[in-house]
Amino acid sequence: MKPTPPAEHFIEHHGLQGCVFWKNKGDVIKFLKENGAQKLLLLQGMNEDSKIKIQHPTFADLKGLMVDTEALHLSMCELRVRKTQEEIRLMRHVSTISTKAHVAVMKQCLPGMMEYQLEALFKYYCMFYGGDRFLAYSAICACAEDNSATLHYHQNSDRLVDGGLCLLDMGCEYFGYVSDITNTFPVNGKFTDKQRGIYLAVKAANEAVQQAAKPGVTYLEMHILANRVLLEELVKLDIVRGNVDEMMEVNLAGYFQPHGLGHMIGYDVHDVGGYTKVTPSRPPKGYGLKNLRTARCLEPGMCITIEPGCYFVDALLDEALDNPDLYKFLNPEVLNSYRGFGGVRIEDCVLITETGVELLSKLPREPEQIELMMAEAAQLNGNFVTPSVMEEPKAL
């Protein structure tokens, strides 16, 4: 192992005024006092998203120094919320790698493959295009039966079925910065009428939010907009009936999208800064609303995800059908025909600019684009054989 560089190395390379190694804790206080420091900022706080707490370090002799255990955590969160130009370049790059990897996986998807094989392909292409060794988070490859109705499905252990949907939520990491993209497409490359209808409903919500997002708009307003557009589209499909304003009052959309619209992204997938002492508080109740990971007002330099979805979860459908305030808006016969459908999510990473958004993840999103691309790939890979799967040993 190479020796640790001297303190001067870190001062020169990181623009520091001074550097003291942690193993000599007493030297830290000595350095501060010799340089006239009056206040010691210690990092302590809690990530309101993960609920993980950071406990500040302790020192034996702090006499003569004011100690502040609050300012540093808040300042670091705010710095991560707004990206520098260097960080924006990294976010563009990692999103490009992830986009290429998603497209490559989609082109090689075939009925009969296993979900974990799609994850393996994504990992391969992320590294092939220059990404880090590890992904940004555990890949979600929900492709069999109704696995796509499970929001954080991680088993990736089922076989892809002809006629099913793939919901792939995967992201690359590059120099510590991450991407988070969800792509939904048909296993066999051809949307059924039902799949196309739900896909277009979610796509309409995604596009409406992208068009509305700009500085001054709050994340809560965007979430509500996505819910409204989703309900308007479900009316067209005759899944729900009635006045959309009245549906919004009872949060009917939350039974189809029981998660928040998105989150901050950068150095973490669900990055810090969603809820702090200087942000609006979390909405208190309602499926989806209470899960919103931030209610911030958008500002230039923020990187966020926009990820509306529509899922048919039996437990939520049953709850809605049993509630008179919700039942009056539902078409039970049509709604029940979607049981076992799974779900659709379309997730993009965007940068908030001075006037709107810059789309960082640029996958083909039109159904016709997806079908054409997969059809062309199938012709080129006519001799491609579905990778064999070893038989698993019987349980002991």
Angle at 345 between CA 143 and CA 331, to 5 degrees: 95
In Å, how far from its chain's centre is CA 148?
A: 15
| pLDDT at position 60 over 90 | no
Q: How far apart are CA 225 and CA 217, in angstroms?
A: 11
Query: pLDDT per residue over 93-152, tens digit each?
Result: 999 999 999 999 999 999 999 999 999 999 999 999 999 999 999 999 999 889 999 999
**pTM greater than the 0.85 cutoff:** yes
Task: Determine the Cα–Cα distance for residues 124 and 155; give it in Å rounded to an integer.
Answer: 19
Query: Closest Cα partner for 345 from 150, 172, 184?
Result: 184
Cα–Cα distance for residue pair 29/156, rounded to 1 Å:
51
Q: Looking at the predicted structure, is the pLDDT value of residue 393 above 60?
A: no
Output the pLDDT for position 389: 60
d(CA 160, CA 146): 11
Supply the pLDDT for residue 36: 84
Tens of pLDDT, residue by residue over 216-268, are 999 999 999 999 999 999 999 999 999 999 999 999 999 999 999 999 999 99
What ranges make up the beta strands (E) of 30-179?
39-41, 45-46, 53-54, 66-68, 140-142, 165-170, 173-174, 177-178
For 165-174, write each residue's pLDDT tens digit. 999 999 999 9
| CA separation for the pair 214, 322 (Å, rounded) | 39
* Residue 319, number of CB atoms within 10 A of its CB: 13
- With contact defined as beta carbons under 8 Å apart, do 82 and 299 qualify? yes
Which residue in this structure is represented by tokens 């990778």?
387
Question: Residue 396's pLDDT band (boundaries 50, 70, 90)?
Answer: very low
Residues 6+ apart with CB under 8 A from 143: 115, 118, 158, 160, 161, 164, 165, 166, 167, 168, 187
Q: What is the mean pLDDT of the chain?
A: 93
The domain segmentation of the chain, as residue ranges, is: 7-69, 83-380
Which fold, 83-380? Creatine Amidinohydrolase (3.90.230)
pLDDT of residue 223: 97
Structure tokens at 253: 């959309």
Q: Say what the pLDDT of residue 303 is.
A: 99
C-beta neighbour count of 372 within 10 angstroms? 13
Give me the pLDDT at residue 391, please. Answer: 62
Kindly state the average pLDDT of the residues 150-178.
96
* SS3 state at 197: helix
Pairing verdict, β 45-46 and 66-68:
unpaired
